[in-house]
Amino acid sequence: MRLFIRLTILALASLSTLAGCGGGGGSSGGTLANNDPCSLTQRKQWVVDTTREWYLYPELLPASVNLAQYATPQDVLDALTANARAQNKDRYFSYLTSIADEEAFFSTGSSVGFGVRLQTDTAAGRVFIAEAFEGAPALTAGIDRGDEITDIGTSTANLRSVADILATGGTQGLSDALGPTAAGTTRTLRLTNAAGTQTLTVTKADYSLLPVSSRYGARILNAGGRQVGYLNLRTFIPSADAPLRAAFANFRNAGITDVILDFRYNGGGLVATAELLGDLLGGNRSSGQIFDQLTFRAEKSSSNSTKYFSSQPESVAPLQLAFITTGASASASELTINGMLPYFTTNLALVGSNTYGKPVGQIAVDRTSCDDRLRVIAFSMRNAAGSDNYFNGLAGTVNVSCRAADELTRPLGDIQEASIRQALDFLAGSPCTPLTAGTAPGLSKTGGPLTVEPALLMPERPTPAQREVPGLF
């Protein structure tokens, strides 16, 4: 998601198949003479065969594809999914990635970079720090949410203004100016905030991204004498499970009945983590009530699954839920909201702006000898009411929504920050201005938000970490 997003975001299931080559489907323009399983032709054919086997919308796949017309396996995949994309059903949600790189991120949150999330306003030629991550170089250097980067260079001698970079190279030019995703890459940044202007040199490094911030990720807010649980979840990965349990144990011990879930930048992640979060929110749900239903196409219906609520020792029984969202909130974030919706109706609100609109999920099909992982749309994500019709975002599905700004001048977790303040007002029963259910965000090759500004910065070729954590650099 170039604005992505937004992101991309993904809700992922972990399925894998043997890395065999198929010749079916009438897809190639000739015979596969090269038997090297990692040859370009074989990899392209594997993409075709796997997509034909698993794609959620087989009726939208072209009858044939001439492999010779496309330079890369990803180009072949883009051609296969073009019809679904035109119908807003696959906005580059299907893609090819590296097994090793994706596993590194999903297992530990491993990433390389400055450790910031960047938000751009291309019309104004500006870029801001939306978030800085603990244990990463930027925050260590004193860079944090609300700072504006005005100039970028490899040294103080060649600083170039962000406005000029955006004017001449667009958002990809800005991504390029920040340097490659490699440890040791150094950039000099001129930053400004309310305290003044400073010039810092920062070096990219390896770090593990915390899915729940140690500074503001989970806390109990005191709102006019009322206690409200607040959880800011950055991404749905396994390393989120322990801090999620700890946060909800704290909420439970405090007798919390109102919860704010801050998903404003959360592009998604693993279905399993979303289902755990559903259980932690489902203390007043029975084991016979459905949280989600993953539904494959008819020929693959044996893979369908239904997740019933399963109370956990840390589960709470909230009476009201407020979800803070933006166009960067996608996939597993939306799955969680949609899963809770049938049980809360008017006691659940969407606060901020409309979500991305991704009610479908990918499976992972691996070709291990080539380090290829194909993420292909294979199932829809329905709630107990059977609803999965939110390709244009959840604003048109929820019963209550409240418009609010993402206030970069205040820290996340601050009760005076605009979106959090509006969420608290909803929980207190105050009226608000509803969101307008509009069309889905514009297309981007990387699958994310897009055309609405300000937007989280995404390079044309994002790393697995950048797909899951929109704006990450």
CATH number at residue 185: 2.30.42.10
- With b for 16 or more beta-carbon neighbours within 10 A and e for fewer, the 74-100 pattern comes to bebbbbbbeebbeeebbbbbbbbbebe
Residues 142, 71 share a domain: no
Distance (Å, whole) CA 472 – CA 462: 9
Domain stop point among 105, 123, 150: 105
**Residue recorded with tokens 């059977």:** 386
Q: HSE (CB half, 13 Å, CA atoms) of 414?
A: 11
pLDDT at 374: 98
Distance (Å, whole) CA 443 – CA 30: 33
Is 469 part of any domain?
A: no
Residues 400, 328 share a domain: yes
Distance (Å, whole) CA 438 – CA 452: 12
pLDDT at 33: 53
The number of domains in the chain is 3
Is 403 part of any domain?
A: yes
Residues 349, 385 share a domain: yes
pLDDT at 35: 79
Query: Residue 171: which domain range?
Result: 111-208
pLDDT at 20: 29
Residues 197, 245 share a domain: no
Is 43 part of any domain?
A: yes
Is 369 part of any domain?
A: no
- Secondary structure (3-state) at 411: coil
Residues 117, 91 share a domain: no
Residues 140, 60 share a domain: no
Residues of the chain with pLDDT under 70: 1-34, 438-453
Is 240 part of any domain?
A: yes
Is 4 part of any domain?
A: no
Residues 85, 122 share a domain: no
Residues 237, 199 share a domain: no
pLDDT tens-digit readout, 201-233: 999 999 999 999 999 999 999 998 999 999 999
Domain stop point among 105, 138, 157: 105
Is 371 part of any domain?
A: no
Domain stop point among 59, 85, 105: 105
Q: Which two three-digit tokens encode residue 8?
A: 């991309």
Residues 124, 191 share a domain: yes
pLDDT at 461: 86
- Secondary structure (3-state) at 223: strand
Is 391 part of any domain?
A: yes
Residues 399, 271 share a domain: yes
Residues 183, 48 share a domain: no
Distance (Å, whole) CA 239 – CA 211: 7
Residues 62, 148 share a domain: no
